[in-house]
Amino acid sequence: MKAPRAIALCQCFNGTLEFQAGYWREAEAALRESIRMHRDIGAASGEALACQRLGALLTARGDWENGRVILEDGIMAAEHATLRAHCLVRLYAALARNRLEARDLDAADHALILGLEMSQRHGHCASCDALLLPAAISVRIKQGNLPAAEIFCNQLDEASEKYASRIWVAMARQARAELAAAQGKLDQAVMGYHEAYENFTIAGNAYKAARCLSASSEIRLQRRAPRDDVMAQEAQAEAREIYARLGVG
């Protein structure tokens, strides 16, 4: 049909699916093409959303600075977007995660605050909260503000029960495990990460599954229960295999 807007949107969806499935090279190419096409036709919402997804991919790969640049480009595009609020919440959530991975906690907190303010001002959106709540939990845990992290965890638990999808359940279990580890509840943390790993694996999200394996192995080495050393080594080996296949730095 040679309809640029439709093709650009399809490239964005294609890149998103390839990212989740673990075909990151193909995902990056599709998302960059989507950004280019949306920019050429002046479709700011599409450009912003494609930037958010590419920024998330680059962050996951460990390319934090280029991820930050792409996300900031997306924020500039989102200011002129029809779906401005939705785009900005997603971009600020992704930027908070990016800065957290880069160990820039002040910048992560600033991005999170902007995302929370935008979400509260325009009403909560389920798909936006799927990105914002896990980032909020991680930032507050890193800040040592466990009561605030608990509040966000409760919100994510409620959402996972409401939507009852594997991805929501996996995200909620992962976040609850992260909080339990920070609280010193190591048995609960190991169980939570195992449940999250299983749900992410079934949902086809290999990267998130590997993150759960890495986190659980660290906790097992700290806990030192019977067979924890062996199980931690097995989890680390599986995680390394996944990271190598994805090209994570």
**Domains present along the chain, CATH in parentheses:** 164-249 (1.25.40)
Band of residue 248 on the pLDDT scale cut at 50, 70, 90:
confident
Q: What is the pLDDT of residue 20?
A: 86
pTM: 0.93
Q: How high is the pLDDT of residue 103?
A: 96
Decide if 167 contacts 175 (C-beta within 8 A): no
Give pairs for 73-77: CB < 8 Å, separation 24+: 74/47, 74/48, 74/49, 74/50, 75/48, 77/39, 77/44, 77/47, 77/48, 77/51
17-42 pLDDT, tens digit per residue, is 999 888 999 999 999 999 999 999 99
User: Taking 60 as the threshold, does the pLDDT of residue 92 lie above it?
Assistant: yes
pLDDT-derived band at 142, boundaries 50, 70, 90:
very high
